[in-house]
Structure 1
């Protein structure tokens, strides 16, 4: 009995390691080209996220894991996001002007279009492409945003860690996510490649 149980555990362990390894390799490849069965590999990596994160923490850099996973999720979600109709943009407050005059509410920072940071332009482009812009000071604000309206698509701008965190958090909420990584991490003065933002907005515009 115990021998059989031990053999089953061993087999499950070997299969798990193999699955996680293949999924991890697929996520790395996704940085440069399309990946077949991306959705399946996303589920595998989400399931093994914490063990993999510990592995990367010990031997590499956890930011690589999040970067690879976000890239893979974008491939997996691309077609579904193209079919969404009620879309929002969720962006971090750390990209705003350090002396931002805008007020904060439970739904995030209320941009007044003062022209001192990228949000003036992003607010205009969000309207132009049919999105509602939310500037949040933390992932907890996303809960309030979901209650504000019925959205089925969320374009996220953040560091890779926050992108992956929110993507996992919105899983099962009937909201399709697509992420645009920022150029740098930090609590203030962070930046995004704006041409990438426009490229993404235009990619989904016809849909």
Structure 2
């Protein structure tokens, strides 16, 4: 009896290892080209996220794992995102100017289009493509944002870690996500390729 259980457990461990390894390989390939079954492999990486994160922390850079996972999820979610109607952009406050004069509410920073940072232009462009813009100072603000309207899609701008974290969190709320990584990490003075933002808005609107 115990021998049978041991064999079953060993087989499950081997299968889990192989699935995780294949999913990692596919996610790495997704950085450069389209891959099949992206949603399936993204689900596998979500399931094994914590042990994989520990592995990358020990032997590589955990940000690499998040980057690969975000790429895979973008491929998986792209077509579903295009079918959504009520969309929002969630962006981090760390991209705003150091002397930003805007005030903060439960739903984030209230941009006044002062012209000091990229949010002035994004505040103008977001409605053109059918998005509400939210500039949040933490993941807790996202909960308040979700109470504003019945959104079914979220375009996220953040570092790869935060993108992956929010993507996993909103998956359970049946909100389709798509992520645009920032050019640098940090708590302030972060940047995003704005041309890529506009390109993504156009792609997801086509």
Normalised by the length of structure 2, the TM-score is 0.99
Partner Cα separation in structure 2 for residue 159 and residue 30 of structure 1: 18
Q: CA deviation at 1:156?
A: 0.2
- The equivalent of 1:16 in structure 2 is 16
Q: What is the correspondence of 1:47-126 to structure 2 with a 5 Å cutoff?
A: 47-126=47-126
Q: Paired residue for 2:174?
A: 174
Instruction: Tell me, in whole angstroms, the C-alpha distance in 2 between the residues paired with 1:53 and 1:87.
Output: 30
Are 1:162 and 2:162 counterparts? yes
Deviation (angstroms), 1:205: 2.1
String of CA shifts for 1:126-170, please: whole Å, max 9, x gaps.
011110000000111111111111111100000000000000000
Q: What stretches of structure 2 of length at least 5 have no aligned partner?
A: none
* CA shift for structure 1 position 125: 0.4
Q: CA deviation at 1:172?
A: 2.0
Query: What is residue 152 of structure 2 aligned with on the other side?
Result: 152
- Secondary structure in 2 aligned to 1:185? coil
Name the CA distance, whole Å, in 2 between partners of 1:24 and 1:204. 26
- What residue is the counterpart of 1:202 in the other structure? 202
- The aligned residue for residue 140 of structure 2 is 140
C-alpha separation in 1, matches of 2:39 and 2:118? 33
What is the number of residues matched between the two proteins?
A: 206
* Structure 2 residue 172 is matched with structure 1 residue 184: no
Output one character per residue of 1:95-137: Cα deviation in whole Å (capped at 9) or x when no partner: 0001111111110000011000000000100011110000000
